[in-house]
């Protein structure tokens, strides 16, 4: 039992539902299957594959633009799962300007970091350490982030998220 990615009629990612819910949308002609999972639902008169990706048959207008929720998962995804200081695999979240020095808990001030850098940096400012960020942290843009900010992407979704702003949909 897993989840399905819901795309708008324009293929823009909208959100995530259970794949039973996705199947009901398909059976009610509200949506079409784009990709199936390998999970088969058996019922009295036969069987049917549970969808991995569905697309709404009618375009729905969505209010723009939602801020992307700031979560550990989304920060890791934005930073490619790597430490912004040394490129090692990230294991923690770091506030560039430490919170103890007034740094905000905001997209522009949180980055993914490895344990070693986070520990060495502690509450020192970058200048004092002579460190530089590999890239400036920003709020990610693109509607795929609405999906990714809230949940972990399934493998089958990635090709449908990539055109909408997610380069590395992992971590």
Selected range binding Zn ion among 30-38, 57-65, 80-88, 104-112, rule: CB under 5 A = 80-88
Query: Is the CB of 66 or the CB of 119 nearer to Zn ion?
Result: 119
Selected range binding Zn ion among 66-74, 78-86, 103-111, 134-142, rule: CB under 5 A = 78-86
Dihedral sign computed on CA atoms, order 100, 101, 102, 107: negative
Q: Does 150 bind Zn ion (CB under 5 A)?
A: no
At its nearest, how many Å lie between Zn ion and the CB of residue 89?
A: 9
Q: How far is the C-alpha of 163 from the C-alpha of 77, rounded, in Å?
A: 15
Q: According to CB under 5 A, which residues from 94 to 133 bind Zn ion?
A: 114, 117
The answer to whether 114 and 134 are in contact (CB under 8 A) is no
Report which secondary-structure segment, H or E, holds 74: helix 72-78
Q: How far is the C-alpha of 32 from the C-alpha of 17, rounded, in Å?
A: 14
Q: Which residues bind Zn ion (CB under 5 A)?
A: 83, 85-86, 88, 114, 117
């Amino acid at each position: 039992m897993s989840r399905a990615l819901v795309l708008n009629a324009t293929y823009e990612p909208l959100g995530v539902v259970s794949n039973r819910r996705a199947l009901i949308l398909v059976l009610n002609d509200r949506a079409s299957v784009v990709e199936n999972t390998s999970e088969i639902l058996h019922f009295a008169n036969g069987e049917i594959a549970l969808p991995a990706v569905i697309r709404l048959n009618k375009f729905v207008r969505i209010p723009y633009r939602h801020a992307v929720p700031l979560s550990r998962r989304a920060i890791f995804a934005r930073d490619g799962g790597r430490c912004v200081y040394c490129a090692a695999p990230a294991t923690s979240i770091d506030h560039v300007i430490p919170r103890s020095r007034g740094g905000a808990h905001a997209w522009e001030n949180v980055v993914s970091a490895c344990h070693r850098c986070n520990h060495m940096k502690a509450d020192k400012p970058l200048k004092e350490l002579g460190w530089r960020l590999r890239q400036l942290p920003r709020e990610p843009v693109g509607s795929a982030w609405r999906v990714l900010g809230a949940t972990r992407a399934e493998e089958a979704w990635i090709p449908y998220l990539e055109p909408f702003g997610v380069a590395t949909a992992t971590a």
